[in-house]
Amino acid sequence: MFASIYLNFFTVSIVIGTAFYLIIGLILLLAIPDRTKATTHFGISYVISAVLAAAFIPAHMLYEPVAAYHRWLSVPAALLVHCHYAQIFYHFPETRWRKAARIILGVQYAVAIILTGYFYYITAYSTIVYNFSAHLWDFDADDASKLVGAMILLNIVHIFIAGTLNVIFRPGHRLVIGGMLAALMFAVTIPSITNIMGRNGLISWDVHQTFLIINSVTGMFALLVIFLNHAKERTSFMLKIVGMSMVTFMVLLIYISLTSFQDQEQAYDRLRSEQASRLSIEPDYPVSDLQYLLAYDLESNEFYGTRATAHPVDRSRLEYELRFAAYYEKIRALKGHDRWRNQLEHILNNTTSPFGGYRAMLRESAPSAATPADLLN
């Protein structure tokens, strides 16, 4: 079992993020007497954020198919957390539009429950695959995931609308509310966009995860600072000092873990890259912890196992990456002072449709590039 447990930047930073959200959420809910509605929703938001973050701990730490079930916890948490962030703006600095706030929260909860049930139903019968770009196990249920991502984006739009209305109708608090809205948008908007882009294959999944961790913690830290300094509740000076010191330490710890793990992960990648290169030439080359070895035929568009028993992998995503790598190598190997552009056009004419964006960019950049190396840099 322990051979399947791995620690990396994502694991450590998510553990820190979970502690960050949970501690602050519990302080807001349990340590502040006579708290306002805004503080209550703030605390609930942070506790749900802790649940959302905690769901990804086994996903990034455990190399077993069962880790895919982290989605059963992350999906409902992601659908619910933004509901309460929006409620903050209905109740800060004091409650406004009480009836509308209740109705909207009820509708959002109903949609979240229905959509979560749909996701559970779809994924209960879905294949579990390994997502190489995300470095985790996941369900082969892209359509359901895209639907959840679209709903999350709608919830974020609702936060922006609620915050903007609060800025308009609270002339004496516009600067504070605007700062809170900006911090929250920084925390949730970019990761939500990169989530959809990652699901559609437009960016690698680890890029999304890095944005998620850095933006979320930094934005939520700024939001917390603004809120605590302008909340109506009377909190002790010592509580603020201890709370802010602890939060500052956690935020710094995340950035420290990012830099400290980079060297280790790069060394690991270099080792595995060397082994993969050797295996491509010598399929029988001994690698002690090799679990499977797949080959991909560009002509027949088929995968076949060359060694060991292949785990289920997300072959559709992997196919694109392998094809794109082959196109890259073909372009990089082009020769000739002037002829390489004609050869490039021949290569581009034989690329598949998912390569369309890169194809258009390469055609546009080719006339001004002196060499294929300049074109690819």
Q: Domains of the chain: which residue ranges?
A: 2-268, 285-310, 314-376
Which tens digits make up the pLDDT trace of 241-299? 766 777 777 777 777 776 777 777 778 778 888 888 888 788 788 887 777 777 778 77
Picking from 258, 222, 237, 296, the residue whose alpha carbon sits closest to that of residue 16 is 258
Backbone φ and ψ for 178, nearest 5 degrees, come out as: -60, -40
- Give the rounded percent of residues in the chain with a pLDDT score beyond 70: 89
Region 85-95: mean pLDDT is: 90
Q: Is the pLDDT of residue 99 over 80?
A: yes
Q: Is the pLDDT of residue 225 over 80?
A: yes
- Give the rounded percent of residues in the chain with a pLDDT score beyond 90: 27
Picking from 195, 209, 72, the residue whose alpha carbon sits closest to that of residue 135 is 209
Which tens digits make up the pLDDT trace of 117-172? 999 999 999 988 877 767 788 898 888 988 998 899 899 999 999 999 999 988 88
pLDDT band at 235 (very low <50, low <70, confident <90, very high): low
Q: Tokens 């990652």 label which residue?
A: 198
Per the prediction, the chain carries an average pLDDT of 83
CATH of domain 2-268: 1.20.1070
pTM (two decimals): 0.74
**Whole-number pLDDT of residue 324:** 85
Q: Is the pLDDT of residue 306 over 70?
A: no
Q: How far apart are CA 298 and CA 296, in angstroms?
A: 6
3-state secondary structure the chain: CHHHECCCHHHHHHHHHHHHHHHHHHHHHHCCCCCCHHHHHHHHHHHHHHHHHHHHHHHHHECCHHHHHHHHHHHHHHHHHHHHHHHHHHHCCCCCCHHHHHHHHHHHHHHHHHHHHHHHHHHHCCCEEEECCCCEEEECCHHHHHHHHHHHHHHHHHHHHHHHHHHHHCHHHHHHHHHHHHHHHHHHHHHHHHHHHHHCCCCCHHHHHHHHHHHHHHHHHHHHHHHHHHCCCCCCHHHHHHHHHHHHHHHHHHHHHHHHHHHHHHHHHHHHHHHHHHHHHCCCCCCCCCCEEEEEECCCCEEEEEEECCCCECHHHHHHHHHHHHHHHHHHCCCCCCCHHHHHHHHHHCCCHHHHHHHHHHHHHHHHCCCHHHHHC
Task: Find all residues with CB under 8 Å of 61, minimum gap 6, and list them.
Answer: 5, 6, 7, 11, 67
Region 335-340: mean pLDDT is: 78
Which tens digits make up the pLDDT trace of 17-54? 898 889 889 988 988 888 889 999 999 999 999 999 99
Q: How far apart are CA 342 and CA 324, in angstroms?
A: 19
Q: Are 132 and 179 contacting, i.e. CB atoms less than 8 angstroms apart?
A: no
**Whole-number pLDDT of residue 236:** 57
pLDDT band at 81 (very low <50, low <70, confident <90, very high): very high
**Whole-number pLDDT of residue 238:** 62
**Whole-number pLDDT of residue 1:** 45
368 vs 164, more confident: 164
Provide the CA 51 distance to its chain's centre, in angstroms. 15
14 vs 207, more confident: 14
Question: Apex CA 316: angle with CA 312 and CA 319, to 5°?
Answer: 105
Region 308-322: mean pLDDT is: 68
**Whole-number pLDDT of residue 221:** 83
Question: Apex CA 5: angle with CA 76 and CA 125, to 5°?
Answer: 40
